[in-house]
Amino acid sequence: MFLGIGASLNIMVTVSAVPHYFKRRVNAAYAVSGIGSSLAYITLPILMAKALAAYGYRIGILLLLPLTALTLTSPVAFKDRLPRPPPQAFRESARPFGRLLWSYQTPFFLINSYLWNAGHTALIVVLYDYIIKCLGNIDTANLIITVRGLSQGVGSCLFSFLLIFGYRFNHYLIQPVLNVVAGAAAIMMAFYTDEISLYILTAITSFAYAVVVSNRACLCNHLYDVADVDYAFGYLELVGGIASLFGVFTCGLIQKAFGMASGFYYIGGQLIFGGFLLLLAAVPKPSILRPHTVYE
């Protein structure tokens, strides 16, 4: 739990710090900040496996602990570029949370976020568990994690570079499209269970996940005013934490009742459903469907 609190606080620091320096290119800056997490997915499984094998769990974790010091680079290097906002009473600070809930698109936005986070958290657990129990190969399971990290790195870097070089995305439509792509790949895992197919399908879902992670702050900027972006992202983190808790639990109950393959059907179905649900947010406001660039 404390690990999750620390990770969420670090993410919120990034969300708050990036627009302090960037205005016109804020979307590209958000995307670049997502590359680091993908690099960690590439390297940490290998480092973790070596450290645990050589030194055991406790010492291995402690040896990797200095990597967390990288999170201190942001506050150390941060310099005030804008005047500080005047102090506010708690009621004034909390008011945007209530204002966002009255927005028509917010329920669709949050439900999509829940289904996306629940699906991808459960997919990692289900896939790893399937490989261990059905294929009996822990090396394949570890390699799946590395493939996942490589695919996320490619997705984050590609998305970031396209934004840096001025390519304009519709940050709203990216989400439902990748929901459908990732959901279809998750369902196919129930049919194609050989190692090569699992590597390819894992790469597809991980690529989609990386782009969505890099795009989610851009999506907040697309849907909400600049003053409300931090609060919208706070809701995202809250929903993501709830999804991580209940997503795996619910998927486990379904697998226990209907078999191992049912977990992939359930995950794929909720990812696809979340994508179509998000499109409903644009019904009363078609302007949401148009590309939107954040300017000062």
Q: Is residue 89 part of a domain?
A: no
For 118-164, the pLDDT digits (tens) are 888 888 888 877 777 776 666 777 777 778 878 887 887 888 778 77
Residue 200: both structure tokens together: 């390819």
**For residues 38-58, average pLDDT:** 71
Residue 42 has pLDDT above 70, yes or no: no
Q: What is the maximum span of the chain, computed from C-alpha positions, in angstroms?
A: 59
What are all long-range contacts of 269-272, with beta carbons under 8 Å and residues at least 24 apart? Answer: 269/183, 269/187, 270/115, 270/118, 270/119, 270/183, 271/115, 271/116, 271/119, 271/120, 271/179, 271/180, 271/182, 271/183, 271/186, 272/179, 272/180, 272/183, 272/184
Tally of domains within the chain: 1
Among all chains, which residue has been given the structure tokens 């977990």? 263
* Residue 71, domain extent: 2-78+105-284
Cβ neighbors of 131 (< 8 A, separation 6 or more) are: 137, 138, 140, 141, 144, 198
Q: How far is CA 76 from CA 7, 8, 125, 219, in A?
A: 18, 19, 36, 28
Q: Is residue 260 part of a domain?
A: yes
- Please state the pTM of the whole predicted model: 0.74
Beta-carbon count within 10 A of 149 CB: 22
Q: Is residue 84 part of a domain?
A: no
Percent of the chain with pLDDT over 90: 6
For 170-191, the pLDDT digits (tens) are 778 888 899 999 999 999 988 8
Residue 192: both structure tokens together: 């194609």
* pLDDT value, residue 238: 76
Alpha carbon 57 to chain centroid distance?
Answer: 27
Confidence band, pLDDT 50/70/90 cuts, at residue 5: low
Q: How far is CA 126 from CA 43, 115, 261, 267, in A?
A: 22, 16, 9, 10
- H-state helical runs in the chain: 2-21, 26-33, 35-64, 73-77, 90-101, 105-130, 138-164, 171-188, 195-223, 229-258, 260-279
> Which one has a higher pLDDT value, 73 or 113?
113
Cβ neighbors of 230 (< 8 A, separation 6 or more) are: 12, 15, 16
Q: Is residue 147 part of a domain?
A: yes
* pLDDT value, residue 296: 34
Cβ neighbors of 1 (< 8 A, separation 6 or more) are: none
Q: Is residue 112 part of a domain?
A: yes
Buried b vs exposed e over 225-252: b needs ≥16 C-beta within 10 Å?
eeebbbbbbbbbbebbbebbeebbebbe
Cβ neighbors of 49 (< 8 A, separation 6 or more) are: 142
114 closest CA partner among 224, 278, 290: 278
3-state DSSP assignment of residue 167: coil
144 closest CA partner among 182, 195, 188: 195
* CATH number of residue 112's parent domain: 1.20.1250.20
For 74-104, the pLDDT digits (tens) are 666 666 666 666 666 656 666 666 677 777 7
DSSP 259: -
